[in-house]
Amino acid sequence: MKSLRGTLLTAATLLFSCFAMAQSAVDAARILDLETGFGARALGMGGAYLGVGDDYSAAYWNPAGLALMKRSEFYLEFSHLRFTNDVTYQTELTSSSTNATKFNAIGLVLPVPTVQGSLVFSLGYQKVKDFDYINQFRGISDADNGLSLPVDTTGQLYDFFGEDVQRGESITDEGGMNQYNLSGAIDISPNISFGMALNYWAGKSEYRLEFSQDDVQNNFTDFPADFDRYLETRSITADYSSFNAVLSGMYRLGRLARLGVTYATPMKFNINETYFQNSSLAFDNGDSFEFEPVEGQFEYDVQIPFEVGTGAAVYLGPILASGSVRYRDWSQMKFKSPDAFKSENSEIRSTYGETLRWNIGGEFSLPLFDAKLRAGYMKIPNPLKDAAPETDREFYTLGAGILLDRYLRVDFAAMLGKWQRESNDDLAPEVSAEDIFYRKFLLTFSYRF
Separation of alpha carbons 25 and 72, rounded Å: 43
Separation of alpha carbons 443 and 449, rounded Å: 20
Name the band, by pLDDT with cuts 50, 70 and 90, for residue 255: confident
Q: 137: which strand partners? A: 169
Is the distance from CB of 70 to CB of 425 less than 8 angstroms?
no
Please provide the size of the chain in residues: 449
Q: What is the pLDDT of residue 25?
A: 80
Q: What is the pLDDT of residue 9?
A: 58
Whether residue 150 has pLDDT greater than 90:
no
Is the distance from CB of 89 to CB of 137 less than 8 angstroms?
yes
Q: What is the pLDDT of residue 158?
A: 84
Q: What is the pLDDT of residue 153?
A: 59
Name the band, by pLDDT with cuts 50, 70 and 90, for residue 3: low
Residue 4: helix, strand or coil by DSSP? helix
Q: What is the pLDDT of residue 148?
A: 82
Q: For 219-248, how does the pLDDT look when each residue is reduced to its tens digit (9 = 90+)?
A: 999 888 899 999 999 999 999 999 999 999
Q: What is the pLDDT of residue 10?
A: 55
Name the band, by pLDDT with cuts 50, 70 and 90, for residue 149: confident
The torsion defined by the Cα of 70, 75, 80 and 83, in degrees rounded to 10, comes to 60
Q: What is the pLDDT of residue 14?
A: 42
Taking residues 248-277, report their average pLDDT: 96
Separation of alpha carbons 276 and 369, rounded Å: 56
Cα-Cα-Cα-Cα dihedral sign, residues 63, 448, 323, 124: positive
Whether residue 409 has pLDDT greater than 80:
yes
pTM of this prediction? 0.92
Q: What is the pLDDT of residue 337?
A: 83
Question: Which of the four CATH numbers 3.30.365.10, 2.60.40.10, 3.40.50.720, 2.40.160.60 does domain 4-448 have?
Answer: 2.40.160.60
Is the distance from CB of 269 to CB of 234 less than 8 angstroms?
no
Q: What is the pLDDT of residue 193?
A: 97
Environment class of 13 (CB within 10 Å of its CB; exposed 0-12, middle 13-18, buried 19+)? middle
Alpha carbon of residue 196 to chain centroid: 25
Between 138 and 337, the higher pLDDT residue: 138
Q: What is the pLDDT of residue 1?
A: 35
